[in-house]
Amino acid sequence: MSIASHSYHWMKTGFRPAKSRLSRWNATSGQIMKRCESLKKMTDDKLERYSLELRWRAKSGEPLRKILPEAYALVRESAWRTLKMEHFPVQLMGGIALFEGGIAEMQTGEGKTLTAVLPAYLRALMGKGCHVITVNDYLAKRDSEIMGPVFNKLGLSVGCITSDMEDEDRRIAYGLDVTYGTANEMGFDFLRDRIRIGASAPGQLEQAITNHKNSGKEPLVQRGNYFALIDEADSVLIDEARTPLIIGLIQPNDAASVNLFRWSNRATHQLESEEDYVYEPKKRSSYLTDSGCRKILLMAKPSLLDSIDTERIYKQVEQSLVARFGFLKDRDYVVVDDEVVIVDESTGRMMDGRKWQDGLHQSIEAQEHVPITAATGQAARITVQSFFQNYAHLAGMTGTAAMAEKEIRKTYKVSVTSIPTHRPCIREGSKARVFKTMQAKRMAVVEEIERLRLKRCPILVGTPSVEASEALGDLLAMKAIPHQILNAKYHEQEAEIVRKAGEPARVTIATNMAGRGTDILLKDDVRENGGLHVIATEMHTSARIDRQLIGRSARQGDPGHYQFFLSLEDELLRCLEMSQIEKLAKSAKADKNGELPAGWLSFFKNTQDFLEKLHRKQRRDMLKQEKNRIEMFHKMGLDPYLEWTE
């Protein structure tokens, strides 16, 4: 079939891979489909024996690219027998692209979960383990459970790593043929293993591992880094890459430090903005002015603070100011059982076990009047970028790679290729509506929900924080509109909430938890009524996150619809100076319902662009620093990942 004649569908944002590559994949995909015909008559036993033969051939040195057509045909047949799903030709092409490495852009809802099984199976034949990286525990568990039978039927074992697992269970899961888990868990397991091995000079790691194995010490948890297939690659490789993984070295708190955290928090309330301190929202940083330093010096303090030097006190007060103005409860963190738990901005999920550094976490604990936990120093650290560079083979897939193509190419030196969709995407968008105040916007959202409910459409409302999701929930409750909320506080009910979200007239209010990976299946006659409607109640700091939310609708050729509702009091605009927003708000001419003319949308888009640029620069700077750090460690013959070892 020639490229010109086949009926693939391209999204506007996608860019095409070189034609020659696409036609090669297309031809191989055709071969695979043909092979599948001959597998139909095989018994299950024969199918498994065939798979064993492939494993033997792979281990005997036959190149995997030669085995690929047979392997993919087997996987397709196994998926049919176990899940009643057969890979579409475009999914086979995606699978080939993933085997060849780099990032495959497959639109939201195109079935990346099923596609991932193809390269994972093929690489797993080598018997060196294969890691499928998902963005959260819920997806790791869901995907390994759903896809497990496809591998099992072909004689391969599958497991998953979740944050609540003990080392022994992790070791077992890593020992299986295919292991699902998050970059976080796999990265931390890698670091903990490095601590077990101890520092090793560059180039001597293999020897150090062998020595460790022979030493009879606690065995390592991972058995190597052979192949990583990253789902939602842009989230993992770009968004998560902003914070390095750090294993803390617990530094017990002394009474003076605890007093300092609590006192600094109180002290901030006696300081005047601009006169005593300056808080910079864009950088989330603050500094004391001369007047502020003087005031701090003169303030009454508990005698325990006498032992702490003044510089440290200033620094801590500045940190408390950052905690107070830069970090909001139910947006950046939640308090669960007297514990401050970070909420990840891009996924809306609780990040168990992660803590802010440099006393910031403790400052927030002081602010929330909960027990102050021990601060952590660094024992071992690695950036997400360096972690994935340890893998012999790396591939990724996402619905939103094209938007970050340049950055991915520059950082990871891999190409991004866009795979056509199976059916044309018929998602419809309505013009964004902009309001002067948050309240006016929320009222309009409620009205829209009422209107759509009358048409019996399921509605997914995206909100930027736990707080915003609950505020909207309260409004709906006041109007007796039934709804369900999906935010970090309800993560245990996630599967149940998602299962119901596609029912007629069902209203689901969610944070970014209902973003990447969430698959809302449409029930009953919902398709005829226009499919799922997504109402985005704010624009995110990254357009990719917006695209992911919208991508919950109109999947697999289904109908679907989206609309943005924005206001001048939105989170996105908080990065601007207060005075600038006030000026804008004054000049804005709203109608009687508080709605502004459509032209205001460009203002939001510009702010989003500005923030994306700023974050890109921050990531670039971080990478540069990291590169210099590793080079310096290498020059000194030291282990770049371990700051401290026994």
Ligand X SMILES: Nc1ncnc2c1ncn2[C@@H]1O[C@H](COP(=O)(O)OP(=O)(O)OP(=O)(O)O)[C@@H](O)[C@H]1O
Using CA atoms, how far residue 17 sits from 94, 105, 394, 419, in Å, is 12, 10, 19, 8
**Beta strands, E only, 123-194:** 130-134, 158-160, 178-182
Asked if residue 359 binds ligand X (CB under 6 A), the reply is no
Asked if residue 136 binds ligand X (CB under 6 A), the reply is no
**105-134 positions binding ligand X, by CB under 6 A:** 106, 108-114
Q: Which of 87, 91, 185 is nearest to 133 (CA)?
A: 185
- For the bound state, the minimum distance from the C-beta of residue 163 to ligand X, rounded and expressed in Å, comes to 21
CA atoms of 213 and 224, how far apart (whole Å) = 13
Q: What residue is closest to ligand X based on CB?
A: 111
Asked if residue 547 binds ligand X (CB under 6 A), the reply is no
With respect to ligand X, which residue has the nearer C-beta, 102 or 292?
A: 102
With respect to ligand X, which residue has the nearer C-beta, 70 or 231?
A: 231
**Beta strands, E only, 240-374:** 245-251, 277-280, 285-288, 333-336, 339-342
CA atoms of 460 and 449, how far apart (whole Å) = 10
Near ligand X by CB under 6 A: residue from 129, 292, 531, 551: 551
**Half-sphere exposure at residue 451, Cβ-oriented, CA atoms within 13 angstroms:** 8
With respect to ligand X, which residue has the nearer C-beta, 103 or 568?
A: 103
Near ligand X by CB under 6 A: residue from 555, 561, 566, 568: 555
Binding-site positions read 91, 109-113, 519
Angle, CA 13 vertex, CA 7 and CA 574 arms, to 5°? 150
With respect to ligand X, which residue has the nearer C-beta, 106 or 125?
A: 106
With respect to ligand X, which residue has the nearer C-beta, 83 or 335?
A: 83
Instruction: Determine which helix (DSSP H) or strand (DSSP E) holds 462, and give its type and residue range.
Output: strand 459-462
Site string for ligand X, 484-523 (x = CB under 6 A): --------------------------------xx-x-x--
With respect to ligand X, which residue has the nearer C-beta, 98 or 375?
A: 98
**395-434 positions binding ligand X, by CB under 6 A:** 399
Those residues whose C-beta lies under 8 Å from the C-beta of residue 511, and which sit 6 or more positions away, are 343, 348, 462, 463, 464, 465, 466, 468, 469, 486, 487, 488
With respect to ligand X, which residue has the nearer C-beta, 373 or 556?
A: 556
- For the bound state, the minimum distance from the C-beta of residue 85 to ligand X, rounded and expressed in Å, comes to 4
- For the bound state, the minimum distance from the C-beta of residue 68 to ligand X, rounded and expressed in Å, comes to 18
- For the bound state, the minimum distance from the C-beta of residue 395 to ligand X, rounded and expressed in Å, comes to 15
Those residues whose C-beta lies under 8 Å from the C-beta of residue 431, and which sit 6 or more positions away, are 563, 598, 601
Q: How many residues belong to the site for ligand X (CB under 6 A)?
A: 21
Q: Which residue has the tokens 């620094």?
A: 315
With respect to ligand X, which residue has the nearer C-beta, 230 or 475?
A: 230
- For the bound state, the minimum distance from the C-beta of residue 460 to ligand X, rounded and expressed in Å, comes to 12
Instruction: Supply the angle between the helices 112-124 and 64-83 in degrees, to the nearest 10.
Output: 130
Q: Where does residue 542 fall: left (phi above 0), alpha (psi -120 to 50 degrees), or beta otherwise? A: beta
- For the bound state, the minimum distance from the C-beta of residue 232 to ligand X, rounded and expressed in Å, comes to 7
Are 345 and 326 in contact by the 8 Å Cβ rule? The answer is no
- For the bound state, the minimum distance from the C-beta of residue 1 to ligand X, rounded and expressed in Å, comes to 19
Binding-site positions for ATP read 91, 109-113, 519
With respect to ligand X, which residue has the nearer C-beta, 146 or 584?
A: 146
With respect to ligand X, which residue has the nearer C-beta, 122 or 434?
A: 122
Asked if residue 149 binds ligand X (CB under 6 A), the reply is no
- For the bound state, the minimum distance from the C-beta of residue 51 to ligand X, rounded and expressed in Å, comes to 20
For the chain, the residue count is 646
Stretch near ligand X under the rule CB under 6 A, chosen from 5-13, 149-157, 244-252, 550-558: 550-558
Using CA atoms, how far residue 76 sits from 96, 115, 175, 515, 595, in Å, is 13, 10, 25, 28, 52
Asked if residue 13 binds ligand X (CB under 6 A), the reply is no
Q: Where does residue 100 fall: left (phi above 0), alpha (psi -120 to 50 degrees), or beta otherwise? A: alpha
Q: Where does residue 176 fall: left (phi above 0), alpha (psi -120 to 50 degrees), or beta otherwise? A: beta
- For the bound state, the minimum distance from the C-beta of residue 135 to ligand X, rounded and expressed in Å, comes to 9
- For the bound state, the minimum distance from the C-beta of residue 513 to ligand X, rounded and expressed in Å, comes to 13
With respect to ligand X, which residue has the nearer C-beta, 295 or 516?
A: 516
CA atoms of 275 and 286, how far apart (whole Å) = 13
> Contacts by 184-189 with C-beta closer than 8 Å and gap 24+?
184/240, 184/245, 184/351, 184/354, 185/137, 185/140, 185/161, 186/131, 186/133, 186/161, 186/222, 186/228, 186/387, 187/245, 187/382, 187/384, 187/387, 188/245, 188/247, 189/161, 189/221, 189/222
- For the bound state, the minimum distance from the C-beta of residue 515 to ligand X, rounded and expressed in Å, comes to 8
Using CA atoms, how far residue 551 sits from 355, 428, 452, 465, 561, in Å, is 31, 11, 19, 19, 10
Site string for ligand X, 556-595 (x = CB under 6 A): x---------------------------------------
Asked if residue 318 binds ligand X (CB under 6 A), the reply is no
With respect to ligand X, which residue has the nearer C-beta, 110 or 185?
A: 110
Burial class of residue 615, CB neighbours in 10 A (0-12, 13-18, 19+)? middle
Site string for ligand X, 370-399 (x = CB under 6 A): -----------------------------x
- For the bound state, the minimum distance from the C-beta of residue 110 to ligand X, rounded and expressed in Å, comes to 4
**69-108 positions binding ligand X, by CB under 6 A:** 85-88, 91, 106, 108
**What is the SS3 assignment for 468?**
helix
Rounded to the nearest 5°, which phi and psi values hold at 164?
Answer: -90, 10
Asked if residue 534 binds ligand X (CB under 6 A), the reply is no
Give the binding site for ligand X (CB under 6 A).
Answer: 85-88, 91, 106, 108-114, 399, 516-517, 519, 521, 551, 555-556
